[in-house]
Each structure stands twice: as structure tokens, then as C-alpha cells.
Amino acid sequence: MNTMIIYASRYGCTADCAQQLKSRLSGSVSLTDIDRVSKSPADLKDFDTIILGSSIYIGAVSKKMKAFCKANESLLSSKKIGIFLCCGFQEQFEEYLSSNFPPSLRKNAVIKCFGGEARTEKMKAFDKLIMKAAMKRRGETLKISSENIECFSKAIQVL
């Protein structure tokens, strides 16, 4: 299996999940920040499996991730696809998926929510304010689900 994991992360939670996922996958696995991903779809041709991971901010994945999916939709649809999200409100996971990824990518993909983390010590003031208010309302801390990462890694390897 020749896999590329492309992730979008603001404060490092999704990046850490991508790293954890990489360590659970066999074969050759490349890990790329969406900010550094090649604009050329030619580079994607070398991979049989492509995994897209992003955190959610105000209901949306990173703009770059959305643009990347749009620009490469037909090529990506011809690959084995995995999609994972890091977010705080997992009950809205299905909604986040359908509003951020086209049906052609979701159709045969392995899809999971990996949970999330509130890394407030790293956040810009505005983000910290929103996060703290949301966490207060929610009344419980966010955490990454190693179980879901494990489950995803098994499913993607038999896709």
C-alpha cells in the first residue's frame, strides 16, 4: 500500500492524529500538511490510497482542504479514499462531512471522527474565547479517540 495522508490543522491536534494514523499503517506512507501539498495532481498519481484529514472551525474544514478536494475531485474519486475529521461536536459529524466533502469522495471512503482537543494555550485570543465559551456550554473536555484511529487504520488497509 502506497499512502498519502494530507492534513489541515490549526493548533496541531489533526497533525498529531495524522501522525498516529501513519504509525499504524503498513507500507509506504507520506504525511503532508495541506499548506505544503503540491498543486500538481500528477504527484497524487503515485499513491493508491489518499487520506484527507481536517479539523472543523465554525462548521467548516480548512479552505485549502476544500479547494484541494474541488481541484482534484475526479482524480481523488479514482483512488481509495479515507476521510477523518477532528472536531468538538461529534454529534454534528455527518453534517460536517456532507457540507465539506463532495459525494463522489464520500461514496466509497473510510470515514471516521477522531475526536478533538482544545489546545487553548496555543490559541489566538479570538479562538480561545470561542473555545472556552463552547467548552463551558458543553461541560466536558475534548479528547482524541485512539480507538477510532485504530479502527480507521484497520478499515483503510482492507479497502
Ligand X SMILES: Cc1cc2nc3c(=O)[nH]c(=O)nc-3n(C[C@H](O)[C@H](O)[C@H](O)COP(=O)(O)O)c2cc1C
Of the CA atoms within 13 Å of residue 95, those in its CB half-sphere come to 9
Alpha-carbon gap, residue 63 to 33, rounded angstroms: 13
Q: Check residue 130 for interaction with ligand X (CB under 6 A).
A: yes
**CB of 13 closer than 8 Å to CB of 55:** yes
In this chain, which of 89, 148, 150, 155 binds ligand X, going by CB under 6 A? Answer: 89
Q: Check residue 6 for interaction with ligand X (CB under 6 A).
A: no
Q: Check residue 31 for interaction with ligand X (CB under 6 A).
A: no
Q: Check residue 84 for interaction with ligand X (CB under 6 A).
A: no
Angle formed at CA 24 by CA 65 and CA 55, multiple of 5 degrees: 25
Q: Check residue 116 for interaction with ligand X (CB under 6 A).
A: yes
| Set of cell numbers at residue 75 | 482524480
Residues in the interface with ligand X (CB under 6 A) total 25
Q: How far is the CB of 46 from ligand X (least distance, A)?
A: 26
Q: Check residue 34 for interaction with ligand X (CB under 6 A).
A: no
Q: Check residue 88 for interaction with ligand X (CB under 6 A).
A: yes
Beta-carbon contacts of residue 142 (< 8 Å; ≥ 6 apart): 88, 115, 116, 117, 118, 135
Q: Which spans of this chain sit near ligand X (rule: CB under 6 A)?
A: 9-14, 55-59, 86-89, 92, 116-119, 123, 127, 130-131, 142
